[in-house]
C-alpha cells in the first residue's frame, strides 16, 4: 500500500461501507450508523438510485448529517467497480472500520400469488424450529394459493455470484484497509434459509459444518461448483439439493461458512453473519414479520461490537446460534 494515507486513529472518525444500500435493510443500516456519528459510504450498483437514496437519507436525518453519508457506486458482481471503490476509500479515508456485506438477491421469481412467499418462509422457519426441538425435516411444501417459484440456471448463477463471490471479493479487497482500524468489524447479512437443517445434501452439509481446521474456501467453492453443475444437468432432486430457493440457501450457507473461515484467519476482527428476520422489503415482495427498522437494530449492534466481542458466529437478530 505504497501511497496510503497515514491515519491518526485517536482523532479520526469511524468509517463504514454498506453494500446494496440504496434501499431496504442496507439503506436503514446507513441511517442507523450515520445517526451514531459514523461516516457511511452508501454503496449502490446504480448511480442514480444511489444518489437519490443519499439525498433521501440526508433529508430524513437533517442537513447536519450531510457530511456523514457519502455515495459510491459498487456492483458487487463487477470486480472493476470494486477496484474503483477500494481506491476511493484508500485515498479519501486511508482505512475502514466497518464492512457490511448486505447486497443480495434471492435467485427466485414468483409466478402468480406472491403470498406463496410468506407461506414458504413460514413453513421453513417451522421446520427449523422443529429440528431445534429434535423433530425431523418438514414435509414437502404444498402452497395453498396459485403462486409458484421459478428458478433458472441463470438466476442461480447470479445469486451465487452476488451473495457469495461478491461478498468474498469485497472482503478480500478491503481486509488491508480494515487491518488499519483499531476495531475492525465485518457483518455478513445472511439468512436463516442458509441453515444446514434445510440442506438435504449430506455431502454439502458435511463440508459446511466441518471443523474449523478442515473448512477451506476451496471446499466451500467445490460445493458451489457441484451445485451449479447439478442444476445445469437437471440433477438437483436426484442429488438432494434444497427444493426451493436452492441457490439462495446454498449461497447463504456458503457465506456462513466463509464467515467462520475469515473469523479464524483474522482473530483481531469481529466477523459475524446474521439473519435480519423475515422483513418487509423488495426481496420479500413487501411481505414479512418485521419492519426494516426492527430488523436492522441487531445488525448495527454487530457492526458496533465492543472489542473482544463474538466472532465467527451466526446470529438471528439478537440470538447467537451455531448452525454448523
Ligand X SMILES: NC(=O)c1ccc[n+]([C@@H]2O[C@H](COP(=O)([O-])OP(=O)(O)OC[C@H]3O[C@@H](n4cnc5c(N)ncnc54)[C@H](OP(=O)(O)O)[C@@H]3O)[C@@H](O)[C@H]2O)c1
User: Pairing state of beta strands 98-101 and 15-18?
Assistant: parallel
Neighbour count for residue 172 (Cβ, 10 Å): 12
Among candidate residues 15, 120, 248, 324, the one labeled active-site is 248
Residue 248 bears catalytic tag = yes
Strands (E), the chain: 15-18, 39-44, 69-73, 98-101, 109-111, 148-150, 185-189, 270-275, 314-316, 319-321
Near ligand X by CB under 6 A: residue from 39, 76, 198, 250: 76
Rule CB under 6 A: which of 212-241 touch ligand X?
A: none
Judged by beta carbon, residue 90 or residue 249, the one nearer ligand X is 249
Near ligand X by CB under 6 A: residue from 273, 279, 296, 316: 279
We find the least distance from the C-beta atom of residue 39 to ligand X, in angstroms, to be 20
Judged by beta carbon, residue 87 or residue 268, the one nearer ligand X is 87
Rule CB under 6 A: which of 145-204 touch ligand X?
A: 162, 189, 191
CA geometry: angle 212, 217, 219, nearest 5 deg: 85
Residue 29 to residues 247, 295, 306: CA-CA distances in angstroms?
25, 10, 18
283 near ligand X, rule: CB under 6 A: yes
CA 207, chain centre distance (Å): 20
Instruction: Determine the Cα–Cα distance for residues 187 and 18; give it in Å rounded to an integer.
Output: 9
We find the least distance from the C-beta atom of residue 22 to ligand X, in angstroms, to be 5
| Cell (9 digits) for 129 | 424450529
We find the least distance from the C-beta atom of residue 82 to ligand X, in angstroms, to be 10
Instruction: Determine the Cα–Cα distance for residues 179 and 177; give it in Å rounded to an integer.
Output: 5
We find the least distance from the C-beta atom of residue 164 to ligand X, in angstroms, to be 11
Sorted by sequence, the CB contacts under 8 Å of residue 126 that are 6+ apart come out as 138
Near ligand X by CB under 6 A: residue from 16, 17, 18, 25: 25
**N residues, the chain:** 324
Rule CB under 6 A: which of 48-67 touch ligand X?
A: 49
Build a one-symbol-per-residue string for 91-110: x at contacts with ligand X by CB under 6 A, - elsewhere.
-----------xxxx-----
Interface contacts to ligand X, rule CB under 6 A: 19-20, 22-26, 45-46, 49, 74-77, 102-105, 162, 189, 191, 275-276, 278-279, 281-284, 288
Active-site positions read: 248
Amino acid at each position: 500500500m505504497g501511497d496510503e494515507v497515514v491515519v491518526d486513529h485517536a482523532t479520526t472518525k469511524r468509517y463504514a461501507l454498506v453494500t446494496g444500500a440504496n434501499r431496504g435493510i442496507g439503506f436503514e443500516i446507513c441511517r442507523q450508523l450515520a445517526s451514531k456519528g459514523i461516516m457511511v459510504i452508501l454503496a449502490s450498483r446504480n448511480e442514480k438510485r444511489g444518489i437519490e437514496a443519499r439525498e433521501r437519507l440526508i433529508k430524513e436525518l437533517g442537513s447536519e448529517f450531510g457530511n456523514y453519508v457519502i455515495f459510491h457506486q459498487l456492483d458487487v458482481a463487477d470486480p472493476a467497480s470494486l477496484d474503483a471503490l477500494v481506491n476511493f476509500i484508500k485515498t479519501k479515508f486511508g482505512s475502514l472500520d466497518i464492512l457490511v456485506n448486505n447486497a443480495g438477491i434471492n435467485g427466485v421469481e414468483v409466478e402468480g400469488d406472491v403470498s406463496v412467499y410468506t407461506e414458504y418462509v413460514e413453513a421453513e422457519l417451522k421446520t427449523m424450529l422443529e429440528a431445534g426441538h429434535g423433530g425431523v425435516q418438514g414435509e414437502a411444501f404444498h402452497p395453498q394459493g396459485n403462486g409458484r417459484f421459478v428458478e433458472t440456471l441463470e438466476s442461480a448463477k447470479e445469486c451465487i455470484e452476488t451473495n457469495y463471490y461478491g461478498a468474498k471479493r469485497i472482503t478480500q479487497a478491503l481486509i488491508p484497509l480494515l487491518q488499519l482500524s483499531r476495531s475492525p468489524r465485518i457483518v455478513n447479512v445472511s439468512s436463516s434459509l442458509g441453515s444446514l437443517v434445510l440442506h438435504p445434501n449430506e455431502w454439502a452439509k458435511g463440508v459446511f459444518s466441518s471443523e474449523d481446521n478442515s473448512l477451506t474456501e476451496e471446499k466451500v467453492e467445490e460445493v458451489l461448483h457441484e451445485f451449479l453443475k447439478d442444476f445445469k444437468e437437471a440433477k438437483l432432486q436426484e442429488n438432494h439439493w434444497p427444493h426451493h430457493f436452492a441457490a439462495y440457501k446454498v449461497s447463504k450457507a456458503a457465506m456462513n461458512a466463509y464467515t467462520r473461515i475469515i473469523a479464524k484467519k483474522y482473530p483481531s476482527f469481529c466477523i459475524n453473519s446474521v439473519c435480519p428476520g423475515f422483513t418487509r422489503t423488495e426481496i420479500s415482495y413487501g411481505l414479512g414479520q418485521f419492519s426494516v427498522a426492527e430488523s436492522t437494530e441487531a445488525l448495527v449492534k454487530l457492526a458496533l461490537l465492543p472489542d473482544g466481542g463474538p466472532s465467527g458466529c451466526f446470529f438471528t437478530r439478537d440470538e447467537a446460534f451455531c448452525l454448523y
